[in-house]
Amino acid sequence: TEQTFIMIKPDGVQRGLIGEVISRFEKKGFYLRAMKLISVERSFAEKHYADLSSKPFFGGLVEYIVSGPVVAMVWEGKQVVSTGRKLVGATNPLAAEPGTIRGDFAVDIGRNVIHGSDSVENARKEIALWFPEGIAEWKSAQHSWIYEA
């Protein structure tokens, strides 16, 4: 099954949305495989968002990500990369549908609470960047109540 990298950005941590975000992914039927609360260095944030380094908002984006601790997580489940993006919602929170995390909890694009990997390949790269120590395996006792055999 698939894994994705989800990060609660500094605004989400400051606003007390950690539990809300985790709860939505848990209730959907995805499994938390790794999690840590950390403050990252500028160079690390630049590496995470390297694909956007030519964008005019890149400096502000890096400032935002280093402005406080973030919660880095790995979630696992069927099509969790694309479905995780649906739970997260559109990049611009004012365009994000109600019922999505950004649609329910954010206003500005530069304060959009959460990151989710945009492809299986980028998820793999981001998980390797954020969790070089590796990820624990475990099986939820609920598994057969969520997933058909």
Catalytic residues: 115
Least distance to ligand GTP, CB of residue 139, Å: 28
**Residue type at position 88:** V
Tell whether 91 is in a known binding site: yes
Q: How many residues bind ligand GTP (CB under 6 A)?
A: 11
**x-or-dash string of contact with ligand GTP, 71-110, rule CB under 6 A:** --------------------x-----------------xx
Q: Which residue is nearest to ligand GTP (CB)?
A: 91
**Residue type at position 17:** L
CA distances from 27 to 9, 60, 120 (A): 21, 33, 22
User: Tokens standing for 121?
Assistant: 């390949």
Sheet holding 114-116, edge to edge: 31-38, 70-77, 2-8, 114-116
* Segment near Mg ion (CB under 5 A); pick from 7-15, 23-31, 82-90, 113-121: 113-121
How many CB atoms are closer than 10 A to CB 51?
10
Contact between 48 and ligand GTP per CB under 6 A: no
Q: Which is nearer to ligand GTP, 29 or 110 (CB)?
A: 110
